[in-house]
Amino acid sequence: MNIVDYISLNFYFFEWLITGIGCALIFRKDGIKGIYSFIPGLQQYFLAVEAEREEDGRTYFILAVCRVLANLMRSMFKEGSPVEIMWLIVAFALWMACLLFGIRIFIALCDVFCQKRRWTWLWLFFPGITSMIWGISPKFMPVHKTVSETDFEKAAKISEASIEAVQNGLTVNLTDRTVMNLGKKAYLLKDIHLSIPVGHMVLLLGGSGAGKTTFLNAVTGYEKANAEIILRGRNFYNNYESMKYDLGFVPQQDLMRTSDTVRMTLYDTANLRLPANMPRNEKKERVSLVMEKLGLSSVAKSQVGKLSGGQRKRLSIALELISDPTLFILDEPDSGLDGVVARNLFQTLRGIADEGRIVIVITHTPDRVIDLFDDVIVLAKDAALTGRLAYYGPVGESYEFFGRNSMEDILRCINQKDEGGEGRADEFVEKYSDVMEQLSTEAENA
């Protein structure tokens, strides 16, 4: 390597490092991870996200990758050959396309940061110095804010409460559940604290996007949150392998083999979930007991594919009941069932809860079976579109809390206005937050 190449290599490394640091400082102003600023191509993509020109950024990234590939292809052929010249032309065309999209991105970036567009040329030719100035100086701030910084989120205050774990039930202290969206942290759930004793059947109520499924996934450990989940006095996250069969989850759609019989399906599940050293006759007795409890004895020899909708749902519940779990979670178990069959199914779930278990259910038709529930968890989207706890407690008291006389009316009350609701989610999130703080204070003084 000659001295010119050495100096050139060090210059490009220094430029890359300074530009990366500068962009990282800029990204921090809008909640984007700084690590992306050190990856060529992605750096420009997230600058485009900052500039609210994500589509241009995506196109730039694709063009940049194609340009690298074109240069690699060019290097494989003899210098001056027709094929090498062809790839040189392709690489130049891609460079021009990147330049044009870069100009579009930097012009938009200047607009978002309320700066004169002449900065575009400095971004193109002196990105290191320019990014450092924009990153360090407090004068360069985007006019938009991330969702986590909105006044709306501040309006729905955080209770900062914590529920003391019950020994014979489920305790959830969920601080938040977040995901990264385009490099920014997005809150799916926040500030959910509740404790459910055994023997209770609980309705999980909330509109579309309120976080019901996300909440259940957090409780089950399928998608862990920043939370402490205590079941029967043990931390579920820390002891997942030894406790996973203490939780039964029945999804909306079953995944059973339709060609197997009911008995065979249950027996296969027993072999998987019950202790390997359990005698075969005890497993058979367990299968027979579960079939009898769920009303499946008469169809024990029938193929799963020939069962009615209600029977298949009962079989799904039976599969989870095999391991005798403490916590039962069901996502719309009455989906596709008529009123009589659905109520019969919920009466069965009521019986399961009465045996000393916890049953949590999502249903879109709660009012027809609400008399079978003990409590209701109400999740609502606040103004920052984050799932929040708007109420948890006895069903009867929920009507007074919301000033409504049905679950459907409660749902309409907390839904956003563009969803046909009254848009009062923040009001009740704050109201329940005050209740939680009062209960927490009373517990500390007791």
312-339 pLDDT, tens digit per residue, is 889 999 999 998 899 999 988 888 788 8
Query: pLDDT per residue over 105-116, tens digit each?
Result: 999 899 888 889
Write the DSSP string, 158-226. Answer: -----PPPPTTEEEEEEEEEEEEETTEEEEEEEEEEEEEETT-EEEEEE-TTSSHHHHHHHHHTTT--E
Is residue 171 classed exposed, middle or buried when 0-12, 13-18 and 19+ CB atoms within 10 A define those classes?
buried
Measure CA 263 to chain center: 36
27 or 136, which is more confident: 136
Query: Does the pLDDT value for residue 155 go beyond 60?
Result: no
CA-based nearest residue to 215, from 255, 251, 172: 172
Residue 14 banded pLDDT, cuts 50, 70, 90: confident
Residues 52, 144 contacting (CB under 8 angstroms): yes
Look at 12-16, 220-224, 405-409 and tell me which has the smallest mean pLDDT. Answer: 12-16
Q: What is the largest CA-CA distance in the chain?
A: 88
| C-alpha dihedral sign at 62, 67, 72, 73 | positive
Residue length, the chain? 446
Query: pLDDT per residue over 361-410, tens digit each?
Result: 999 889 999 999 999 999 999 888 889 999 999 999 999 999 999 999 99
Q: Encode 65-87 in three state secondary structure.
A: HHHHHHHHHHHCCCCCCHHHHHH
Distance CA 347, CA 194 (A): 25
Query: Residue 108 has which token pair?
Result: 């938009």
- How many C-beta atoms surround the C-beta of residue 180 within 10 A? 11
Residues 108, 51 contacting (CB under 8 angstroms): yes
Amino acid letter at 5? D
Place of tokens 């999502």: 362
Distance CA 368, CA 30 (A): 47
Q: Which residues contact 173 (CB under 8 A, 6 or more apart)?
A: 162, 163, 193, 227, 228, 230
Where do the domains of the chain lie, and which CATH numbers do they carry? 3-144 (no CATH), 152-445 (3.40.50.300)
